[in-house]
Chain A
Amino acid sequence: MTPNFITEIKIKKKVVIIHLNKFYCVCVLVIDMSERKWPILAKSAWLEDETLVIVDETALPDKLVYIRANDYKDAVKAIKEMRTRAVGQVYTTYYAMLLTAMKNRQLPPKELLEVLKKAATEIGNARPTFPLAKMANSVYEYAEEAYKNGKDVVTAVENFVNRVLNEREEKLMKIVRYAADLVKDGDTILTHCNISGILVLIARECRSQGKKIKIIATETRPYLQGARLTAWELHQDGFPVTLITDNAVAYVMWKKMVNLVIVGADRAAMNGDIANKIGTYQIAMAAFEHNIPFYVIAGIDPKINTGKEIVIEERDPNEVLYFRNCRIAPEGINAYYPAFDVTPAKFISGLITSEGVLSPHVAHLYVDKIKR
């Protein structure tokens, strides 16, 4: 109900215009003070009513483009085209299953289960190397179980997806707090490649504890995830970030410009060796040589005993020879592109896990709680 002394209320973008009479009006600027909880790359897919919104990571940092998926087929397409990766794929997978359940809630439960099964298969096949199939199937299996117990399938799927993602987020926030505890006021953190928003969360946690920090990011050739994603997301959040080329790492350590290194890991073995983006190993050696602590955010894969067992993906050498379709080297030479490397445990000061910062040599004792 509008009080009678107000003649009209208009809302233009962030300004509310309240007309008191023909001659006077009051303008109120509305500022949204609530900080977005998740950095874009930490949660790059979410549900808005019955649409799955996915951040198109291929457009970053030039543009922030959202893909609006109306069903799981749109989501599969986004995964296949690598428009979402890493953590984004996890959210896309779970939410695509939930979306499928919601959109088909009018179907008889049996048919709904069949649709869910089909969705799980197609999502699972979108990118074979990432364990998407396991995640999508877990949703389907939970739905099937709920049906057998005579429960509502859609509600069950919704509860399950929300629970899984909440648990994930709670674990992540534990990791973030343990990581932030390693950082002192005035420290500079060196990082490599991109850890999907986690570094932003760590930097925010430091900021809320009143610690001033700086970040040095390597550009991370050939795909430049450091330049395009890490530098971008930290800058978006207002943290001072300095970009260096991958070959400048030892020198900045020698100049005492770095207090600690924090990187992610694609895999960690039972013996504490880790695999991460190519370049991580030589950064670890340089840190070791300068007595700079080197920390890795990682969960352990119980099926892998040592780093030597980790298969290193070797990608198309043309990705080294060309930069955005422009050849950077003469014709007739070869190139080599291992996408990852292995850092032996002896170079790692600690694995940052949801159970705390663990020595890489004892982390296997906690494998049940920190496995990936």
Chain B
Amino acid sequence: MHPIEKEFESKYKIQMPTLLKRTVWYENGIVKMLDRRELPDKIVYLDLKNHEDVARAIENMAIQGATSIARAAGYGLVLAVEKNIHERPEIFEKNINLAAERLKQTRPTGAELIPLVDKLTKFAIDNYELHDELVTKMVNFLVSHWANALKIGMLTGEHASKLIDDGDNVMTHCWGGSAVAFMFLEAKRQGKNVKAVNTETRPYLQGARLTSLTLKEAGIDDTLITDNMPGYLMWKGKIQKVFTAADRIALDGAITNKIGTYLYAIAARHNGVPFYILGYEGPDPNTKTINDIPIEERNPEEVFYLRGIRTAPEGINGYYPAFDIVPPKYIDAIITWNGIYSPFDIKDSLREEIPEFYEW
């Protein structure tokens, strides 16, 4: 058991929820991966035997989330290293580079995938002489990568919990990662009576599938609503706070997150409900303003289906922006691993460098 798992269980007295645990890991020559496509009905782990299997699993969306995808690709590289470690150095280098290229091409938009694979490829080639120990080193790196990310989520959630009052109903949208679970668990640990409301999050239903599952496993009272209901619930006084994550935070305090976040920020403002962002590592130093945030527009076909069933007539158009942008004026605070910031001061969170909580 990793130290962070021990810390979790002693603190919250429950088993770690499925999506907080490692969802991809190395075990006796194979890579195990949680198949998120089967959630929430089934918790199934895939057995991946080589880097090609891993690449295909990533392409076929068995795994989601920028950090998890990057780590999965890292494990794919571990399998390639294990297979080639007894080859001559030039063959090893050639095959590792080929595997790295394959893994990097799986989901080109993820910001963390390429740097992580590049870092591990360089490490493997530089440390070829470690032979069998190289695999262990790489696995240790990936485990601490997971543990560090989870620690950042834990710290973010702990800071966020301070903003929750006893008796609050807290709304969230999409799946905001581990900080959502930590925020509720920590508020509960402080003796606050807190309940969750979450949107289903069309078209992919990450809310219904991932958030509802995690909150249920964490023992948090959770109510699912459709994406057109938050405004009404705020009007009725049934929501006291809104917390969502952000896919990217600009230095001017604007954020981008799953489509719908902007709509709920507007509804919250008109109803006097505070709107908070779980900001984890903080802003992206390379994204200066709201105008520098690109928005991914995905295949409109995805709007015509709900869990694989066609909902719309043939012949019409669809439009599927995957994310939207919330200007800082609608955000009451951004919570990062190192504190609570006004969106207009979010740059300040970068003054402190993120430590390696778990070294490898």
Contact = CB atoms under 8 A, between A and B. Distances in A.
B217 to A, nearest CB: 9
Interface residues of B, number: 56
Interface stretch (A96-104, A110-118, A121-129, A226-234): A226-234
Quick one: which of B226, B231, B262 has the most chain A CB within 10 A?
B226
B317 A240 contact: yes
A203 interface: no
Contacts of B202: 219, 221, 245-247
Interface string B65-105: 00000000000000000000000000000000000000000
A212 to B, nearest CB: 15
B267 interface: yes
B318 A333 contact: no
Interface in B246-297: 258-260, 262-264, 266-267, 270
A341 B235 contact: yes
A119 to B, nearest CB: 36
Contact of A231 (B226, B231, B264, B312): B312
Interface string B313-337: 1011111110011000000000000
B312 A219 contact: yes
A222 B231 contact: no
Contacts of B2: none
A328 B207 CA distance: 10
Contacts of B260: 245-248, 250
Given A248-B259, A328-B307, 18 more contacts: A219-B303, A221-B202, A224-B306, A224-B312, A228-B311, A232-B313, A251-B324, A252-B319, A279-B226, A279-B229, A285-B231, A285-B267, A286-B263, A320-B224, A329-B40, A329-B209, A336-B197, A342-B232
Nearest to A308: B235
Given A221-B200, A227-B311, A235-B316, A250 B266 contact: yes
A333 B231 contact: no
B226 A334 contact: no
Contacts of A326: 307, 309
Contact of A333 (B205, B212, B229, B315): B212
B225 A243 contact: no
Interface string A297-330: 0000000000000001000000011011011111
B259 A334 contact: no
B232 A245 contact: no
A242 B320 CA distance: 10
B228 A216 contact: no
Provide the main secondary structure of the chain A interface: mixed
B215 A333 contact: yes
Interface residues of A, number: 57
A337 B225 CA distance: 7
A242 B300 CA distance: 10
B306 A243 contact: no
Contacts of A240: 317
B263 A251 contact: yes
Given A242-B318, A329-B40, A285 B266 contact: yes
Nearest to A223: B226
Contacts, number: 191
Contact of A323 (B173, B309, B317): B309
Interface of B: 40-41, 173, 197, 199-203, 205, 208-209, 212-213, 215-216, 221-233, 235, 258-260, 262-264, 266-267, 270, 303-304, 306-307, 309, 311-313, 315-321, 324-325
A328 B208 contact: yes
A329 B263 contact: no
A247 B266 contact: no
Contacts of B197: 336
B226 A320 contact: yes
A61 B264 CA distance: 31
Nearest to A241: B316
A285 B221 CA distance: 29
A20 to B, nearest CB: 42
B304 to A, nearest CB: 7
A279 B313 contact: no
A239 to B, nearest CB: 10
A232 B209 CA distance: 29
A221 B228 contact: yes
Q: Which 6 A-B pairs have the closest CB atoms?
A: A279-B228, A247-B260, A282-B231, A341-B232, A250-B263, A330-B40
B319 A281 contact: no
B224 A219 contact: no
A252 B318 CA distance: 12
A114 to B, nearest CB: 46
Quick one: which of B208, B216, B263 has the most chain A CB within 10 A?
B263
Nearest to B308: A326
B315 A235 contact: yes
B223 to A, nearest CB: 4
A243 B235 contact: no
A196 interface: no
Contacts of A336: 197, 223-225, 229, 233
A107 interface: no
Contacts of A334: 221-224
B226 A246 contact: yes
Contacts of A224: 306, 311-312
Given A221-B228, A222-B226, A333-B216, A328 B312 contact: no
A227 B222 CA distance: 28
A219 B235 contact: no
A330 B216 contact: yes
Contact of B263 (A221, A247, A333): A247
Contacts of A288: 270
Given A228-B311, A245-B227, A247-B227, A282 B317 contact: no
A356 B92 CA distance: 79
B207 to A, nearest CB: 9
Contact of A245 (B203, B209, B223): B203
B316 A281 contact: no
B229 A338 contact: yes
A252 B259 CA distance: 10
A54 B312 CA distance: 23
A332 interface: yes
22 contacts: A227-B312, A232-B312, A235-B313, A241-B316, A242-B317, A243-B316, A243-B317, A245-B227, A248-B259, A248-B320, A252-B321, A278-B226, A278-B228, A279-B229, A282-B263, A323-B309, A328-B205, A333-B212, A333-B216, A333-B224, A337-B226, A342-B235
